[in-house]
Structure 1
Amino acid sequence: MALTHLLLVGAALLSLACFFSGSEAGTVGVCYGMMASNLIKPPAVVQLLKKNGITMVHLYDANPEALTALANTNIKVGVSLPNQYLTLAAGSTLYALQWVQSNVKAYPGTKINHVAVGNEVFHQQPELTRQLLPAMKNIQAALVSVGLADAVKVVTPIALDALSKSFPPSEGQFRDDIAQLVMRPLIDFLDRTGSHLTFNYYPYLAYRDHPDQINLDYVLFRPNKGQLDRGTGLMYYNMFDAMVDAVFHAVEKLSSSSEHGRGRILSGSDSSASFIESGSANGEGTTGPAAADSLGEQKSVSAAATPANAQTYNSNLIRKILRGTGTPYKPNAVISGYIFSLFNENLKPGDDDERSFGLFYPNGTPVYKVDFVHPGPAPATPTPTPAGPSWCTANAAVGDKQLQEPRDYACANGADCSAIQPGKTCYQPNTVVAHASYACNDFYQRRSGTCDFNGAASIVYQKPTGTCDASAPAAASWCVANTAGGDTRLQAALDYACSNGADCSAIQRGGRCFDPDTKEAHASYAFNDYYKRNGRTEESCNFDGCGSVVHQQPSELRSIHPILR
């Protein structure tokens, strides 16, 4: 990991390595760094991983001892080509091939699933920016040549300062100097190779650098009043979600030569966000609190760097992943990734607290407990507190099938759904999303702010267009004849209505509505009477395509049926 100097934009600073992949369920691994004195050996590390149910690790190089120890364990392993080798890999296909042969192919029993080419190149070594994509392409070509391109994907972690703006999430966009030069061809490359877009984000660092501007509860996934994105009307109750959605929005704004590439990353039902690094400093050293550096000098860290806060952040993030919760903007996104880091590493360069992100001390004893296997109970749904009214609205992006369940749940657990029954005030428009929005919002208003529904609905602070007020009178509607089907079909439909419940006595010869004596007028009368008696549903005004629902009273009905005036 490299702790970056993060951008403060609006209310949030963001960083974490985000893959966009296609896995069905979220999984969580750890970053396995080795820059610590008295670190347990790789075989003991493997046993530690197994004991804690950890099934994925990310390495910052391709350490032979670690790769050998991880063989035949079924643990997925990511390896890295460090920045210092980027120029060599970019300039020589032979070097790239030799690197892949020595560091990937040489370990057939180890389940290597990605190669990270460089790390935060735009931020750490911007002079290598133009070397990044050529290096990735050469590593990819090498994987193809040894028959491993399907199993091993090429990625590159990107720091969030690749975005010129990241908060609110809807304003996320890439910097001008890299948007078309690097990001556009990079996304095309990732699409062609079936790989993943990767970002680095650290909520903890945002809070550490600006504690007066950021709510710690917002960083740690604890209940808080949230942050409103006025561009989308969506509320964010943790910084992690805001980070991921900022990248989604940035990709949307990117003019890519591969629309398919952007579409694969962004598609509502398939979008995914996987991260390589996320974590929180624990304030401990290699053996316990108040660590000193190698010269004995006391090192200062943020007041937020405590084992309790680190445990809260990592446990809540793991729980979110294992429960399959997406983001406000992409509720279907599947999130997978790696917690930084496995060990406290006292030999790491950089900021003081970078040495204390570990779940374990170097000797393998835990700094605090985390559960990588069980999702645990769902976190409490925050109660929004911004001033003004709010609504719970269904998210159409999840699809009708997933909206049916929250609608049924809301109606069965306290929401008054009578208004969306056929013929009632809010039945129209008769769509799953409209009915789900009504049911979820009624449930939300009655339950004082409960709007979760597993990501199928979200809180907004601008009244959604078309919101139905059940207390208002039902919108007037009529069923009238459509002559496009021809006289024969119209007559058959007229006869059907009159013989199946419509009172057609008024349009008989001598009846008060006989005139005007036209088939269209008589059919309109019969259709409308049938429509009224059958709940004013769309189905009750079909008549084999000869009937149409209108919301402005037709002149022929006003003239032949005074009651309708």
Structure 2
Amino acid sequence: MASLSFFSFLILFLSAIAVSDGGSVGINYGRVADNLPPPDKVVQLLKSQGVAKVKIFDSDSAVLTALANSGISVVVCLPNEQLASVAKDQSFSDGWVQANIAKYYPATKIEAIAIGNEVIAENITDTTKFVVPAMKTIQASLVKLKLDSNIKVSSPVAISCLGNSYPASAGSFKTDQVQSTIIPMLDFLRETGSYLMVNVYPFFAYKDNSKTISLDYSLFKDNPGVVDSGNGLRYKSLFEAQVDAVYAAMSALTYDDLKLVVTETGWPSAGDAAEVGASQENAAAYNGNLVRRVLTGNGTPLRPNDPLNVYIFALFNENQKPGPTSERNYGLFYPNEQRVYNIPLSQKGLNGNQSPPASNVNQTAPVNNWGGVSKATSGQTWCMASPNAEAEELQEGLDYACGEGGADCGPIQPNGACYNPNSLVAHASYAYNSYYQKKARVSGSCFFSGTAYVSTQPPCTYFFYPFILFTFKLIHSCSFSCLGFAAFGNCQFPTGY
């Protein structure tokens, strides 16, 4: 097979502008500030950015009222200080659900109740013992009102509740919490069909270990990846490794069937001198690449078929939050609704069709390098092989597509119209796309164990002729006007359209 280096460069370009159906991106709407816009203005801002999910840290009446009939789903929170009262008194729980949930539902699309926030964390506290009992009383209240089938109950845990998180395959919960809290909580989630909420912040790991953890690895940028010594999986981002450490911890306790949602993740745009990595550039890269990663389809290496669902922290910079400077600088927007930096927050935004916020001044440029966020057009789609995939995995995918998958692989045989470029990635791309089009481009038909991605831009003929001068100017000006097919070398990629 020919060298992958040149073709890999080309596919990297295409992958930077490819999007597909994937997980969901929501935003945490915190309000520890004295200068934020009123809730109705916030709802307008969320809708203008295509944000369909939001999480709040209480059950504020003004916020829930503003969200009514907006189409935005919301996760509300039972504050930590109320856990004991709810856990000890079913009637108190009934009253809380009636006043804070039933009063607004269904006009306000409440989809889940978070019982506290990071009560389950590194250390056991006096409040920890109330988490699961509070979950049970709230669930019982929902059952009484016949709301339990539509509203889930869970509790956001801090990733510090893991006793071990490296390598990801060795993830495990802290032993002193397993029997008293973790197993009862996981049992409840399984019994009620709910999911684990977990807060994941690669920033903290990088800040404390910047000499050993790659910044590119932390920001979802192009990097060699880290191979898990326990299962051989290659991780291209710290975020995915941390998420899989939680999955591994659940698996170790035989809760492989449970799903999880990342209820908080983010990166600060400013910090104190000791907060290594806190900057606008890094925040834009992390959150922008996170959005693109989540919305392009695949799950984590350990759970590739489970889409990633995340809530970015946070919507605004909150000027009254205590602690280091970073705590007041996680926001995507300033209180005047201007962007702190420019990133897409939805599929529409990735496609370049998102409305601008109320004001665009004082914005930094969006990240548009190989490891960053790029625009893409909508319309026809193609399934392409990833140049970052292991050759053995690509070969397995190619063999499946051409064999059991029923793809038309005649053109990539010797002397076939699509034999050149003669590389594993090129041949796999043709086979993957043939299979994808044959399956009518249904969700999940462009996966191949995580070695494929959906591109909204066709492979351009100009990329595959060695006498062309491949400058960035040429690449950015290359026309993608392939009608009915995508030209790929001397062959034509069917689109099925």
- TM exceeding 0.5: yes
Q: Deviations over 1:442-466 (max 9, x none)?
A: 826999xxx997451569xxxxxxx
Following superposition, the deviation at residue 168 of structure 1 comes to 0.7
Distance 2:291 2:28 in 1: 14
Match of 1:18 in 2: none
Following superposition, the deviation at residue 331 of structure 1 comes to 1.3
What are the residue-to-residue correspondences of 1:482-521 with 2, within 5 Å?
none
Say whether 1:443 aligns with 2:424.
yes
Q: Which runs of 5+ in 2 are unaligned?
A: 1-20, 352-367, 372-385, 417-422, 434-445, 453-497
Of the three residues 318, 321, 341, the one matched with 1:348 is 321
Say whether 1:135 aligns with 2:134.
yes
Match of 2:334 in 1: 361
Distance 1:396 1:103 in 2: 52
Match of 2:269 in 1: 282
Match of 1:146 in 2: 145
Match of 1:122 in 2: 120
Letter in 2 for 1:356: N
Of the three residues 40, 45, 49, the one matched with 1:48 is 45
Letter in 1 for 2:393: T
Structure with larger RCO (C-alpha < 8 A, sep 6+): 2
Please state whether the residue corresponding to 2:76 is helix, strand or coil: strand
Following superposition, the deviation at residue 84 of structure 1 comes to 1.0
Q: Is residue 114–residue 154 contact of structure 2 (8 Å, CA) maintained in 1?
A: yes
Match of 1:228 in 2: 227
Q: Is residue 165–residue 171 contact of structure 2 (8 Å, CA) maintained in 1?
A: yes
Distance 2:38 2:130 in 1: 35
Match of 2:289 in 1: 316
Match of 1:307 in 2: 280
Following superposition, the deviation at residue 392 of structure 1 comes to 2.5
Q: Deviations over 1:545-564 (max 9, x none)?
A: xxxxxxxxxxxxxxxxxxxx
Following superposition, the deviation at residue 55 of structure 1 comes to 0.7
Match of 1:93 in 2: 90
What are the residue-to-residue correspondences of 1:110-259 with 2, within 5 Å?
110-123=108-121, 126-255=125-254
Say whether 1:456 aligns with 2:452.
no
Distance 1:408 1:113 in 2: 41
Distance 2:329 2:80 in 1: 23
Q: Are residues 47 and 138 of structure 1, via their aligned partners in 2, closer, same or farther at CA, if it must alter by over 3 Å?
A: same
Q: Deviations over 1:136-177 (max 9, x none)?
A: 000111111122111111010111122111111111111211
Match of 2:487 in 1: none
Letter in 1 for 2:280: P
Distance 1:82 1:155 in 2: 13
Please state whether the residue corresponding to 2:146 is helix, strand or coil: coil
Match of 1:75 in 2: 72
Identity percentage of aligned residues: 38
Aligned length: 376
Please state whether the residue corresponding to 2:75 is helix, strand or coil: strand
Following superposition, the deviation at residue 413 of structure 1 comes to 8.3
Please state whether the residue corresponding to 1:79 is helix, strand or coil: strand
Following superposition, the deviation at residue 393 of structure 1 comes to 2.5
Q: Are residues 340 and 402 of structure 1, via their aligned partners in 2, closer, same or farther at CA, if it must alter by over 3 Å?
A: farther
Q: Is residue 394–residue 425 contact of structure 2 (8 Å, CA) maintained in 1?
A: no
Say whether 1:392 aligns with 2:389.
no
Please state whether the residue corresponding to 2:177 is helix, strand or coil: helix
Q: Is residue 139–residue 148 contact of structure 2 (8 Å, CA) maintained in 1?
A: yes
Q: Is residue 401–residue 407 contact of structure 2 (8 Å, CA) maintained in 1?
A: no
Q: Is residue 403–residue 456 contact of structure 1 (8 Å, CA) maintained in 2?
A: no
Q: Deviations over 1:52-100 (max 9, x none)?
A: 1111110001111111111111110111011111111111111111111
Q: Which has the larger radius of gyration?
A: 1
Letter in 1 for 2:70: T
Distance 1:395 1:145 in 2: 54
What are the residue-to-residue correspondences of 1:4-19 with 2, within 5 Å?
none
Letter in 2 for 1:343: F
Please state whether the residue corresponding to 2:99 is helix, strand or coil: helix
Q: Is residue 392–residue 458 contact of structure 1 (8 Å, CA) maintained in 2?
A: no
Distance 2:410 2:424 in 1: 10
Q: Is residue 283–residue 301 contact of structure 1 (8 Å, CA) maintained in 2?
A: no
Match of 1:264 in 2: 257
Say whether 1:32 aligns with 2:25.
no
Q: Are residues 106 and 228 of structure 1, via their aligned partners in 2, closer, same or farther at CA, if it must alter by over 3 Å?
A: same
Following superposition, the deviation at residue 396 of structure 1 comes to 9.3
Distance 1:326 1:102 in 2: 37
Please state whether the residue corresponding to 1:342 is helix, strand or coil: coil
Following superposition, the deviation at residue 192 of structure 1 comes to 1.3
Q: Which runs of 5+ in 1 are unaligned?
A: 1-23, 256-261, 266-271, 285-298, 385-389, 419-441, 460-565
Following superposition, the deviation at residue 122 of structure 1 comes to 2.7
Q: Is residue 273–residue 333 contact of structure 1 (8 Å, CA) maintained in 2?
A: no
Following superposition, the deviation at residue 349 of structure 1 comes to 1.8
Q: TM-score, normalised by structure 2?
A: 0.69
Q: Are residues 412 and 373 of structure 1, via their aligned partners in 2, closer, same or farther at CA, if it must alter by over 3 Å?
A: farther
Distance 1:319 1:205 in 2: 22
Distance 1:220 1:83 in 2: 31
Please state whether the residue corresponding to 1:277 is helix, strand or coil: strand
Following superposition, the deviation at residue 253 of structure 1 comes to 0.8
Q: Are residues 46 and 348 of structure 1, via their aligned partners in 2, closer, same or farther at CA, if it must alter by over 3 Å?
A: same
Distance 2:324 2:69 in 1: 36
Distance 1:395 1:43 in 2: 53
Q: Is residue 163–residue 174 contact of structure 2 (8 Å, CA) maintained in 1?
A: yes
Q: Are residues 354 and 125 of structure 1, via their aligned partners in 2, closer, same or farther at CA, if it must alter by over 3 Å?
A: farther
Distance 2:188 2:57 in 1: 23
Following superposition, the deviation at residue 383 of structure 1 comes to 5.1
Distance 1:130 1:395 in 2: 51
Letter in 2 for 1:118: G
Distance 1:119 1:98 in 2: 21
Match of 1:290 in 2: none
